[in-house]
Amino acid sequence: MQSEKRKAWSKQYYLRNRERMLAYSRKWQRENPEKLKAIWERQRKKDPEANRRKWREYRMRNPDKVRATVKAYRARTRDRWLAHGREYYRSHREYYASYHKAWVAKHPQEAKAIDAKQYALRKGAKATGRVTAEDWAGIKRQYAFKCAICFRRKKLERDHVKPLSKGGDHTPSNIQPLCRSCNSSKGNRLI
Ligand SMILES: [Zn+2]
């Protein structure tokens, strides 16, 4: 009976002083970050599942806060993870190369479109320009699958009618199909 009474009393006390106690607890946490960390660590080890659940709930209650914290952390450690990424890429270069090769083999049209776009960007084309694999197929169809200069039916390459180096855009309307020999003899001239 005594303990029941005490429990009720302490509950009342807690409810009456809730704000004050929370403020005190927050202040203590701010002033003792190391101790707080140690407590968290102990709790995490004692009941990892409960800990995960608590974090999940916290993240759901405070999405903006969590996002801001993560963003700040990423910015603070930027050099470290960039270096880590570079190092990881270096030590897995063969894996990436074979992965890339397999992707290109499986998606030849898309790979060519991406190559052409990257080439165009290097030449200074506007980044907004876009020629997809479908665009290219449509352009070739328009030219009846023939070279736009010699009209021979050969393997066709994308050529910029107005060269990128002269301010041409990497857009479907500026692309024509040329055979390899016409393309290499055309060079940077307009046609
Ligand atoms: Zn030709």
Q: What are the residue ranges spanned by the domains of the chain?
A: 2-80, 108-186
- Cα distance between residue 151 and residue 11, in whole Å: 92
User: Residue 104 Cα, ligand 1 centroid: separation in angstroms?
Assistant: 26
- The rounded radius of gyration (Å) of the Cα atoms in the chain is 32
Please provide the average confidence, as pLDDT, over all residues in the chain: 85
Specify the higher pLDDT residue, 186 or 82.
82
- Per-residue model confidence (pLDDT) at position 51: 85
Question: Which CATH code fits 108-186?
Answer: 3.40.1800
User: Residue 159 Cα, ligand 1 centroid: separation in angstroms?
Assistant: 11
From start to end of the chain, where are the E strands? 156-160, 175-179
Task: Please state the rounded mean pLDDT for residues 111-121.
Answer: 78
Q: Please give the backbone phi and psi of residue 102, each rounded to the nearest 5 degrees, phi first.
A: -65, -40
User: Residue 181 Cα, ligand 1 centroid: separation in angstroms?
Assistant: 6
User: Residue 165 Cα, ligand 1 centroid: separation in angstroms?
Assistant: 21
* pLDDT at position 123 over 60: yes
User: Residue 89 Cα, ligand 1 centroid: separation in angstroms?
Assistant: 41
- Cα distance between residue 117 and residue 10, in whole Å: 71
